Structure 1
Amino acid sequence: MISGSQKLRKDSFVSPHFVLDLTELMTTFIIFLLLHLCFLLKSGEAQVRKDLITNAAEKTLNGFDENTLFSPYTKQEWRSYQDKKINEGRKTQLNFIITYPNKTAVKGAKLHIKQLTSDFHWGCGMTHRIINNPAYKKWFASKFTAADFHNELKWYYTEPQPGQENYTDPDTMLKFADEHGIIVRGHTVLWDDVKYQQKWVKKLSPKKLLQAANKRVDSVVKRYKGRLVGWDVMNENLHHNFFEKRLGKNASAIFYNRVYNIDPNTTLYMNEFNTTEHVNDKWAAPEKYLRRLKKIRAYPGNNGMKMGIGLQCHYGAKPIDLHYVRNSLSLLSQVGLPIWLTELDVKMDPALENKSQLQVIYLEEILRESFSHASVKAIIIWTGASIDGCDVMCMTNEKLENTPVGDLIDRLMEEWKTGNTEVVSDSNGISKVSMFNGRYEVTVVDPFTNVSSRVTFKVDKVSLPDENVHLQILV
């Protein structure tokens, strides 16, 4: 029998030590699905989960595959599966075929492969404290290609008093990011939590609130139009409803529409907590996230809007339920939108003697699991330098020296890039290389004359659908 604690995981693999008669498995599985579906229908939460269960059933009926898992598994098995998914979703296998202009294969040609960019972004939270700190700037620019401002773009920061707007800090921070090729998310246009509204905003009548909120949207979005990689239009509006209670149930969708009309080419995000972190949070489960996203997109005028999925990922002091993380990310990935982990950290119980070691262990688990989902386009670490405060997690101390967390992230950054590589062509003029997706510069050197040719190109399965890349050495 299948115990209630064992979960169906869509994006998992079958453990090698799992053996069960096929007939017994199928009978038990179908009974489980019917009972679970009845429960969901009764509770009113059925539609999205029904689709998920139906898809899983269809895949299982077609035979055992990596999407079916009812058994325990070892950490080694889990890691092997993650590596498999990383190789499939993040890397491209290429055969470089080196010839002379007369089509003769070149044996012994040297290929110098240099990775220029990655399709995946490592990012970090940034605060105004970076503005006058050269060491902090150097540290940040040397590691990250993406950033989220902690507070500096929020309404209460830029307009603490009505009519007194001040964008000095975000202007300066964005200038620094632009100078170093760091993409920045617009966090956040509005926040649906009443706790984070200015006192003067809370006192406004519905009519005055709509006017003030529209003025805020116009001010910040027009100022940074086309300069940001995305906007968190309405922060945390699965858990909160400040604007909906005062302006009506479609308030969020209307504000998304307003941002879209001002900055139509920028991706607009929902940004929520506990969608992957806690299975028992009834407000932010993946299916509820997708329903809200669908509702926003269905609002008149929002049909062509580019949207993305923002997940804060504030994990607690207990071991992370990777089963739930995998199921959540797999379900969210099905809609084909980019997923950004926007504020990732792991909080530890200060009473634990081994809290530092556990924090690194849990953080590595969640980073590896997240990276194994190709829909996850970026991870923003929350936060980096201790100058920004270390109430939960930091990569460095006050001297910008790595903490154990920083060491881990540096190690994974190195592991998940191709970097600079040199290979030599075989007797058929072929060199086989597996490369992380991104932009590359490849230099080919003739083994006899040292004459070289150089080319740059994008590596991914769309840009290079044919794994054979032909390069010529000109003589």
Structure 2
Amino acid sequence: MKTLIIIFLLPCILLLLVHAQVNDDSFDPYATLFSPYTKQEWRSYQEKKINEGRKTELTFEVSYVNGTKVRGAKLYIKQLTSDFHWGCGMTHRILNNTAYKKWFASRFTAADFHNELKWYWTEATQGQENYADPDAMIKFADEHGIIVRGHTILWDDVKYNQKWVRKLSPEQLLEAANRRVDSVVNRYKGRLIGWDVMNENLHHNFFEKRLGKNASSLFFNRVHKIDPNAVLFMNEFNTTEHVNDEYAPPVKYLRRMKKIQSFPGNSEVKMGIGLESHYGAEPIDFHYVRSSLDSLSQTGLPIWLTELDVKMDPNLKNWSGLQVIYLEEILRESFSHEAVKAMIIWTGASIDGCDVMCMADENLVNTPIGDLIDGLMEEWRTGEIEAMADFNGSCQVSVFNGGYEVKVVDPVSNASSRVSLKVDKVSIPDKMVHVQIMG
């Protein structure tokens, strides 16, 4: 009887403990097996994790050359770069639209191409390669400091392979796939941040069925030999989106990655975790998203959300409003996990065709989705701030990690000094910045 009473009371006790924790900095809603938290409590937790993982608190100490502290020194702090990449899907339609180029380059530091680097685009007909579109798109990206992921070299889904590819014998397929790898990787080696080597190789197995169980590992090896400094990604859907997908949960993702890494010659491959992040018309299971990211982050490898969108049923009441709500929830949850290094929104303006969601219409006027993303971009950067040193020439500021230019001005003589800083967990170990002013 006592056992039954304990079993009955245990959830109630845990709920009370969790609610008691929300007023404490140690609150961790993921640590519970239940969901007693409110959205406000979860948002507070996300903010706590952002402050811990994305920001650094610096102490500036300003002095003259002789060591005297500069009382009331003025600091003008400007963020130049961010350690986090906002990205967007890009198509060839951008090439002939100057306004869209400007819109894109003013917002994003990373890109995936929707189709233009895929095999079916560059070699639709066997033996006839055409790289005109990706050449021009990569040139545009280079000119504007936008890093590009090579999406994708090969694709394990049979329906996304050309008819001529599907008709090849295993021997012919291996020869053709090797030529494809050599062609595209040699053409762009050293210019791309990384490559999706074998897209969606957990849900699909076109190459494994024809070339053997080590097909993905072999192609990772071949790409690495050509472009050894590139990050080579697995890229998969439903690893964080759906708890009931049996093909690509984190445990299977990590198992396949370990298999690729342990293949002879692959120990030095720089791996990355690509999560497509196609969410649907249901509330997001934050527990599952966070636990999935936690599991994947144990590898220490960079995690990129590579094709982020939220698809809604247009017949659903208030579907457009819910789309904004769900998108904001997944953006905040993902950004609050410091292992996530970049998020790529899958479609920018309607110029690119918006089958799921768009940030801007044909006139590049923001949609509610665009307003949300622009707002979060602004929220998650330091921008420009002004501060003043105290009586001891000391000043504390909390800034998002990235590159900075700091101007320090003597309030009496107006003499100044400038310093450039890289702010992250390792670049300034003691979080102290000493600046001297001539005077």
Q: Is the 8 A contact 2:194 2:232 kept in 1?
A: yes
Q: Matches of residues 198-217 of structure 1 in structure 2 within 5 Å?
A: 198-217=162-181
Amino acid at match of 1:113: I
> What does residue 426 of structure 1 align with?
390
> What does residue 70 of structure 1 align with?
33
Amino acid at match of 1:286: P
1:16 counterpart SS class: helix
> What does residue 207 of structure 2 align with?
243
1:161 counterpart SS class: coil
Q: Is the 8 A contact 2:111 2:147 kept in 1?
A: yes
In the alignment, structure 1 residue 131 sits paired with structure 2 residue 95: yes
In the alignment, structure 1 residue 155 sits paired with structure 2 residue 119: yes
Q: Structure 1 residues 305 and 404, CA, compared in 2 at 3 Å: closer, same or farther?
A: same
> What does residue 15 of structure 1 align with?
18
- Offset, 1:15: 3.0
In the alignment, structure 1 residue 354 sits paired with structure 2 residue 318: yes
Q: Matches of residues 34-433 of structure 1 in structure 2 within 5 Å?
A: 68-71=31-34, 72-433=36-397
> What does residue 50 of structure 1 align with?
none
Task: Give deviations 1:173-226, integer Å, cap 9, x for gaps.
Answer: 000000000000000000000000100000000000000000000000000000
- Offset, 1:64: 9.3
2:174 counterpart SS class: helix
Amino acid at match of 2:51: N
Task: Give deviations 1:11-45, integer Å, cap 9, x for gaps.
Answer: xxx733479xxxxxxxxxxxxxxxxxxxxxxxxxx
Percent pairwise identity: 74
Give unpaired runs (5+ residues) of structure 2: 1-5, 12-16
- Offset, 1:467: 1.5
Give unpaired runs (5+ residues) of structure 1: 7-13, 20-62
2:300 counterpart SS class: coil
2:19 counterpart SS class: coil
- Offset, 1:159: 0.1
Q: Structure 1 residues 294 and 74, CA, compared in 2 at 3 Å: closer, same or farther?
A: same
Amino acid at match of 1:170: P
Deviates further, 465-474 or 119-128: 465-474
Determine the C-alpha separation between the residues in 2 that align with 1:418 and 1:210.
50
Determine the C-alpha separation between the residues in 1 that align with 2:181 and 2:243.
33
Q: Is the 8 A contact 2:88 2:344 kept in 1?
A: yes
In the TM superposition, structure 1's runs of 4+ consecutive aligned residues that sit over 3 Å from their partners are 63-67
Determine the C-alpha separation between the residues in 2 that align with 1:202 and 1:224.
26
Determine the C-alpha separation between the residues in 2 that align with 1:15 and 1:436.
30
Amino acid at match of 1:184: V
- Offset, 1:65: 6.7
2:106 counterpart SS class: helix
Determine the C-alpha separation between the residues in 1 that align with 2:428 and 2:373.
30
Determine the C-alpha separation between the residues in 1 that align with 2:418 and 2:65.
15
Task: Give deviations 1:311-345, integer Å, cap 9, x for gaps.
Answer: 00000111111111011011101110000000000
Determine the C-alpha separation between the residues in 2 that align with 1:117 and 1:405.
24
Determine the C-alpha separation between the residues in 1 that align with 2:267 and 2:321.
47
Determine the C-alpha separation between the residues in 1 that align with 2:52 and 2:7.
31
Determine the C-alpha separation between the residues in 2 that align with 1:270 and 1:412.
27
Determine the C-alpha separation between the residues in 1 that align with 2:381 and 2:292.
26
Deviates further, 63-72 or 342-351: 63-72
Amino acid at match of 1:265: N
Q: Is the 8 A contact 1:146 1:184 kept in 2?
A: yes
Determine the C-alpha separation between the residues in 2 that align with 1:234 and 1:205.
19
Deviates further, 211-220 or 99-108: 99-108
Deviates further, 64-73 or 218-227: 64-73
1:82 counterpart SS class: helix
2:197 counterpart SS class: strand
Task: Give deviations 1:345-380, integer Å, cap 9, x for gaps.
Answer: 001110123111100100000000000111100000
Amino acid at match of 1:68: A
Determine the C-alpha separation between the residues in 2 that align with 1:185 and 1:468.
35
Q: Structure 1 residues 344 and 64, CA, compared in 2 at 3 Å: closer, same or farther?
A: closer
User: What TM-score comes out, normalization by structure 2 length?
Assistant: 0.94
Determine the C-alpha separation between the residues in 1 that align with 2:71 and 2:139.
48
Q: Is the 8 A contact 2:89 2:348 kept in 1?
A: yes
Q: Structure 1 residues 224 and 2, CA, compared in 2 at 3 Å: closer, same or farther?
A: farther
Q: Structure 1 residues 446 and 399, CA, compared in 2 at 3 Å: closer, same or farther?
A: same
Determine the C-alpha separation between the residues in 2 that align with 1:76 and 1:182.
35
Amino acid at match of 1:233: V
1:326 counterpart SS class: helix
Task: Give deviations 1:243-293, integer Å, cap 9, x for gaps.
Answer: 000000000000000000000000000000000000000000001000000
Amino acid at match of 2:31: T
Q: Is the 8 A contact 2:271 2:301 kept in 1?
A: yes
Q: Is the 8 A contact 2:30 2:290 kept in 1?
A: no
Q: Is the 8 A contact 2:29 2:37 kept in 1?
A: no
Determine the C-alpha separation between the residues in 2 that align with 1:112 and 1:97.
14
User: What TM-score comes out, normalization by structure 1 length?
Assistant: 0.87
- Offset, 1:461: 1.3
Q: Is the 8 A contact 1:312 1:343 kept in 2?
A: yes
**Count of matched residue pairs:** 423
Determine the C-alpha separation between the residues in 2 that align with 1:149 and 1:184.
8
- Offset, 1:431: 0.9
Determine the C-alpha separation between the residues in 2 that align with 1:83 and 1:232.
32
Q: Is the 8 A contact 1:2 1:70 kept in 2?
A: no
Q: Is the 8 A contact 2:302 2:341 kept in 1?
A: yes
Determine the C-alpha separation between the residues in 1 that align with 2:391 and 2:269.
52
